[in-house]
Amino acid sequence: MIILGCENLTQSNVILTEPTLLKVENLSVNRSGKLILKDINLVLRKGEFVGIVGPNGSGKTTLLLSILGFLKPETGNVEIYGNPPMSRKNFDKIGWVSQAASYLPKGIRITVRELVRLGTINSRNLFFELDKIGRRERVTNAIKMVGLQDVENVNIESLSGGQRQRAVIARALASQAEFILLDEPLVGIDRGTRNDLLKLLDRLCHDEDKTVLMVSHDLTAIRQTAHRMIYLEESIKFDGSTEDFPDLQTLADLRGIKPVHDQSFNHNHS
């Protein structure tokens, strides 16, 4: 672990033999004239499960959108599989699950299977039924991976929040994506469902050779699940294994938060 003026803790204990999937260099991003990200340097390797945590407004979603190419950086560079984010060479390799992915407009009638099947549609087969049998198998396998076989023909609107999250993850899997990015997938779901979803993501890394990058405000859940954690607040303050994530006091120091009570106050109230 490297400590720089108590401002930046970084560590990388990934398996260096795995190929580099994502490389972010000196990335800075402005939104509406405000600096949101500053000098972000990040490397992800195949098979990792990386959790990004930080307070509201710290730039977590902005980082994901920049990695995907939806936001243009002020400075710096992003490469996925050695290509720019929007490169056609990355076609079908990236699965994106946004915060709003599981919230469909009321009145939309679509089954789990139909939703997942949308993940197999792309610009090459939009108007043609290419490899119809292969696409059907991909949908079936994706539904099985997330454990929704019993409700595959049920309207998505009738499902619980956790089941909908599984369905949109299955849609990403049906696209045969190798790199899955998720923005706050744990919001609005109960504890049991949350644990099941986290186990699913961990299993995708170990058993399906997927790479997962997930943003969450749930620091405890990430610490119990991810292989590696990144604490982001404009810049990366910590990057390392979950076991080495700083305690609350160190985290407060990283954020520049000082005690509001002096020692005499604490002594008088002990």
Can you spell out the DSSP letters for the chain? Answer: -EEETTTEEE---S-TTSPEEEEEEEEEEEETTEEEEEEEEEEEETT-EEEEE--TTSSHHHHHHHHHTSS--SEEEEEETTB-TT-GGGTTTEEEE-TTTT-PPTT---BHHHHHHGGG--TTTTTS-TTHHHHHHHHHHHHHHTT-GGGTTSBGGGS-HHHHHHHHHHHHHHTT-SEEEEESTTTT--HHHHHHHHHHHHHHHHHH--EEEEE-S-HHHHHHH-SEEEEEESEEEEEEEGGG---HHHHHHHHT---SS-HHHHHHT-
127: confidence class by pLDDT, cuts 50, 70, 90: very low
Token couple for 94: 């990236």
pTM for this entry: 0.80
23: confidence class by pLDDT, cuts 50, 70, 90: very high
Token couple for 34: 């405000």
CATH of the domain at 231: 3.40.50.300
Per the structure, the complete domain to which residue 51 belongs is given by 2-248
Q: Residue 11 above 50 pLDDT?
A: no
Residue 260 resides in a domain:
no
Nearest to 217 by CA among 99, 71, 46: 99
pLDDT digit string (tens) for 187-217? 777 788 788 888 888 988 888 889 999 999 8
Average pLDDT, the chain: 82
Q: Residue 154 above 70 pLDDT?
A: yes
Identify the burial level of 161 via C-beta atoms within 10 angstroms of its C-beta, where 0-12 means exposed, 13-18 middle and 19 or more buried. middle
Residue 79 resides in a domain:
yes
Residue 236 resides in a domain:
yes
In the chain, the number of structural domains is 1
- Identify which of 27-41, 163-177, 252-266 has the greatest average pLDDT: 27-41
d(CA 41, CA 236): 8
Residue 115 resides in a domain:
yes
Residue 269 resides in a domain:
no
Q: Specify the pLDDT at position 126.
A: 45
Q: Which strand ranges, in their side-by-side order, compose the sheet holding 75-80?
A: 34-45, 20-31, 75-80
Q: Helix crossing, 191-208 with 161-174: angle to 10°?
A: 20
- Amino acid identity, position 112: V
Phi-psi region of 138 (alpha: psi -120 to 50; beta: other; left: phi over 0): alpha
Query: Tokens 């985290």 appear where?
Result: 251
Residue 265 resides in a domain:
no
Beta bridge partner(s), residue 183: 215
Residue 9 resides in a domain:
yes
Token couple for 177: 């994506």
